[in-house]
Structure 1
Amino acid sequence: MGAWQLLMVGLVMLLGLVGVLLPGVPGPWLVWAAMLWWSMHVQSGLAWVLLVGSTVVLLVNQAVVWLLPPRRVRGVGVTRRMAVFAGAGALVGFFLLPVLGAIPGFIGGIYGSERHRLGGHGPAVTSTRAVMRAVGTSVLVELFGCLLVVGAWLGAVFWG
């Protein structure tokens, strides 16, 4: 696979990660489609294992998201800025503490956004709890599954 195709697969995966945070964009499907494209072109044993593994992870991910309570965005105060902070926090946490760091990074991003908006620790903690109860858990589960797939792909590209 050439460098340009590899770059395009990476960009589609990045779009899928951003799509998890944006309503109406099928983030996990984009990540899976990029993995499928890469596997079809590389055609190695590792590529097929990653395709099957990512399919299982994303299917289990969707089942868990469906079992969670529905998202209640209205009335909680979720903004685009908060989504950007949460996504950036998850990405930073994912790379600082591989895989597991995405969870505290996501929550820390929400807290940072709320701390900036509200100005104090107490109101920011209260708002972060409310956001996590309303929408954060389902978004976090979906983002975590996609980050696992992207992380496995990055590992295969760089070290496989």
Structure 2
Amino acid sequence: MGVVGEVLIGAVVLVGLFGVVVQVLPGGLLVAGAVIAWGAITGGPAGWTVVAVAVLATGLAAVGKYLLAGRHLQRKGVPSSTLVWGGLLGVVGFFVVPVVGLPLGFVVGTYVAERVRQREHAPAWKATVAALQATGVTILVELAGALVATAAWGVGLAVT
């Protein structure tokens, strides 16, 4: 792969890392896809090792983020139905208020669902904070997986 191709792969990786943090793009998948493309085009032991590391890191992060977030929410007593309502309002918010609508809708939806369920402000707000903490956990876990894939790509670039 030439320098232009590697720069393009690097640009997609950067966009993917940004997408992981901002949660507007499927960042982990963009990083993995770019690194896998580089590894497949480069080939050889180094290329395919990078592909294996990227797939493994991204896959483990994808599973791990849901397990950790789910465990956190379960410990805090937040039911899945509350998250469904938060997610639905987040999707609506994404289209109504560009950029900030998704997180804003998620917070409002989670709070309203818990307020209706519990009929009090304090427990509803605690559930909303727990949902935001779980969201932060998912971002960190996905970012860790994407960074491992990025590091593997960097090592692959240095070796080839």
Q: TM-score, normalised by structure 2?
A: 0.59
Aligned residue in 2 for 1:62: 62
Structure 1 residue 134 displacement after superposition: 4.2
Contact 2:36–2:54 (Cα < 8 Å) also in 1: no
Aligned residue in 1 for 2:80: none
Contact 2:40–2:51 (Cα < 8 Å) also in 1: no
In 1, Cα distance between the equivalents of 2:148 and 2:134?
Answer: 23
Could you list the per-position Cα deviations for residues 29-84 of structure 1 after superposition, in whole angstroms to 9, with x for gaps in the alignment? 1011101211121111111011012111111111101113369799xxxx97xxxx
Task: Sort the Cα spacing of 1:16 and 1:154 in 2 relative to 1 into closer, same or farther, 3 A.
Answer: same
1:20 aligned partner, one-letter code: V
1:144 aligned partner, one-letter code: A
Could you list the per-position Cα deviations for residues 8-32 of structure 1 after superposition, in whole angstroms to 9, with x for gaps in the alignment? 0001011110010122310111011
Query: Share of identical aligned residues, percent?
Result: 27
In 1, Cα distance between the equivalents of 2:53 and 2:134?
Answer: 30
Aligned residue in 1 for 2:38: 38
Task: Sort the Cα spacing of 1:42 and 1:139 in 2 relative to 1 into closer, same or farther, 3 A.
Answer: same
Aligned residue in 1 for 2:139: 139
1:139 aligned partner, one-letter code: I
Aligned residue in 1 for 2:47: 47
Contact 2:46–2:156 (Cα < 8 Å) also in 1: yes
1:149 aligned partner, one-letter code: A
Q: Whose radius of gyration is greater, 1 or 2?
A: 2
Aligned residue in 2 for 1:19: 19
1:42 aligned partner, one-letter code: T
Structure with the greater relative contact order (CA < 8 A, sep ≥ 6): 1 or 2?
Answer: 2
Structure 1 residue 4 displacement after superposition: 0.4
1:5-154 aligned at under 5 Å gives the runs 5-69=5-69, 133-154=133-154
Could you list the per-position Cα deviations for residues 98-132 of structure 1 after superposition, in whole angstroms to 9, with x for gaps in the alignment? xxxxxxxxxxxxxxxxxxxxxxxxxxxxxxx9797
Structure 1 unmatched ranges of 5 or more:
81-128
1:155 aligned partner, one-letter code: V
Query: If each structure's helix is expressed as a fraction of its own residues, which one has the higher value?
Result: 2
CA RMSD after TM alignment: 2.7
**Alignment length, in residue pairs?**
108
Q: TM-score, normalised by structure 1?
A: 0.59
